Chain A
Amino acid sequence: MTLLSVQNLRVSFDTEAGLVEAVRGVSFSLGRERLGIVGESGSGKTQTGRAVLRLIRPPGRIEADRMDFDGQNLMTASEREMRALRGRRIAMVMQDPKYSLNPVMKVGAQLMEGLRQRDRLGRAEAHAKAVAALDAVQIRDPERVMEAYPHELSGGMGQRVMIAMMLIPDPDLLIADEPTSALDVTVQAEVLSILDGLVRTRGMGLIFISHDLRLVARFCDRVLVMFKGRVVEELAARDLMQARHPYTQGLLNCLPRIGGPRVPLPALDRNAEWAR
């Protein structure tokens, strides 16, 4: 069953320096599976994720031939209908909890906000649900974290709070935009396994956006490789080593391997032809 289908998505920004096209005709569809989107910074992968939630602000513009979520047309949905989808059915975890959590609101207030405002739950019930959500991301002292401000949390802790917050309403689709890139290497694996476990057990769709091809291959069923706003290759994760596109091969080869030969890493080949 198709959850999300996107056809010929374009995102452009009308800036001082002229029209910048961040996403240029991306198409994909997604069931209750895990899709990875990989590319360098500036390849349009983040804008693709945000376009699905219609979170591109002016002067940015979204165009698509088709963008449906569970039978609902996202291009023609009113702002009110979009709000009902956001949070409840589609959620997003962003890169750095230092910036993605409101610095002057207590963690608890931010966790309960959706429940209280959107779902109109009572204070006690919202509190219990928020604590349960923190429990689910393996935070040991949820009551104390509820009372903390974001700057009092470590990076890994903050990202777990972020995941908990986004998963509270049990969404059907989670967009994870570089969820571990800003974290210490030591906690990356921990946060990833928590995220992976929750996505698996709750059976939601996942769009995992990253610059790390190997990481994505480990977590996802399918991988889209993006370059300069276009999808250059789409392949099943297990076929990664058989990637045909030179850009994908470049991404694979520019990582050092333990036990590999000690030669200088090759520079990534960026042929403008591929972006046509």
Chain B
Amino acid sequence: MASTPIDPTGPSRLFSLTRRTAGVLVSLAFTFLGLLFVTFIIARVVPIDPVLAILGDRATDAQIAAERLRLGLDEPLWKQFGIYVWQAVQGDLGTSIRTKQPVISEIAQYFPATLELATLATIFGVLLGVPAGVLAATKPGSWADQLVRLVGLMGYSMPVFWLGLMGLLLFYGVLGWVGGPGRLDAAFDMMFEFEVTQHTGMILLDTALAGRWDMFANAISHIILPAGILGYLSMAYISRMTRSFMMNELGQEYITTARVKGMPERRVIWVHAMKNVMVPLITVVALSYAFLLEGAVLTETIFGWPGLGSYITDALLVGDMPSVLGGTVVVGVAYIGLNMLSDVLYRLVDPRAR
């Protein structure tokens, strides 16, 4: 170390980076395989006979045998699993029993609504949670700290579907400040279907791109409540984590260095400490995003939001297992994807991890 003041950079660093990335990819592939294995097992032990579910009770023996052959149910289990994985990798998650449509194309229709909701909620969560956590960390033990703590713990303790109902009751039923269930008023629903090109499937983006600001405003009035409620949960998590990370950083010696240099407290906190807080916070935000995809399952049923959550719960109630499991796989894949994304961002922010 003493002879080389600067660690050698260049090829060895590049090598270690590729090796680490490869390691991450392999472990992700394993996790994906495990995900499919679990859903496969669940699908096999379902008491619902997939053949009867598709053909109905009055099918002839010949029809049943043909269908079994088509579904590959006569093959040994390991081979069935192999086929399942192969199809899943190609995007084939089976056929919905309810609608006889491919599960993947149905999910493609439902997913943007969930994505829009979860994204907006995460934006709320970060914009409110990070300053709240920083405020609490800079004044530990103060009333502001206690308040942030209590508001955060309350968010951890509320059943999200109940919070949704209460929100609807107050802001829609009593005060009339927001639009009710659904993504748009009924009057706009048809118009959106026929007059707006759906580039993204996300209503705010599509209406804005089409310049239909009347519709955009209406969509805002509908999304604000569910996104606000999910955003509150996200804020609860992010503010608590930010507080603990920030407390940790503010105790570090480099903070003293910045103060010795005469930097104002604002800069010490928001530049020096924040740059370090960002590193673990990225993982937290990714986690909370994933957690919102899940929270959406219960919220969407309350708000009649046509997203993945509604899709899964509706399918569940009629025993449409391919749809349920397909939805589970997609959410699982989103989890894995977010994990990978946070890993990449983490490396970008922290020079020591490169």
Contacts and interface: CB of A to CB of B under 8 A. Distances in A.
Give yes or no for direct A-B contact (beta carbon below 8 Å): yes
Interface of A: 50, 53, 55, 79, 83-88, 91-92, 94-96, 99-105, 113-114, 117-118, 139, 141, 144-145, 148-149, 151-157, 162, 165-166, 184, 186-187
Interface in B90-138: none
Contact of A86 (B260, B272, B275, B350): B260
8 contacts: A94-B253, A95-B253, A102-B272, A118-B261, A145-B5, A145-B6, A156-B5, A157-B5
Contacts of A101: 254, 257
B10 to A, nearest CB: 12
B262 A100 contact: no
B276 A113 contact: no
Interface in B219-260: 252-254, 256-260
B54 to A, nearest CB: 56
Give the dominant DSSP class at B's interface.
helix
Given A104-B275, A104-B350, A153 B5 contact: yes
The 10 residue pairs across chains A and B that have the minimum distance between CB atoms: A87-B262, A99-B253, A86-B262, A149-B351, A87-B261, A102-B254, A100-B253, A157-B5, A92-B260, A83-B262
A96 B6 CA distance: 17
Nearest to B3: A154
B144 to A, nearest CB: 14
A152 B7 contact: yes
B279 interface: yes
B261 A100 contact: no
B7 to A, nearest CB: 5
B350 A55 contact: no
A99 B252 contact: yes
A24 B178 CA distance: 63
Nearest to B354: A149
A85 B253 CA distance: 20
A102 B258 contact: yes
B12 to A, nearest CB: 13
A151 B262 CA distance: 24
A109 to B, nearest CB: 10
Nearest to B267: A117
B60 to A, nearest CB: 70
B276 A102 contact: yes
Contacts of B259: 53, 55, 86
Contacts of B275: 102, 104-105
Nearest to B279: A104
Contacts of B276: 102-104
A151 B2 contact: no
A154 B5 contact: yes
Given A100-B257, A101-B257, A84 B262 contact: yes
Given A87-B262, A114-B262, A151-B351, A102 B257 contact: yes
A148 B256 contact: no
B352 A149 contact: yes
Given A102-B272, A104-B276, A104-B279, 18 more contacts: A55-B259, A83-B264, A84-B262, A87-B261, A87-B263, A92-B256, A94-B257, A102-B254, A103-B254, A104-B350, A104-B352, A113-B261, A114-B261, A117-B267, A141-B5, A149-B351, A157-B5, A165-B261
Contacts of A152: 6-7, 9
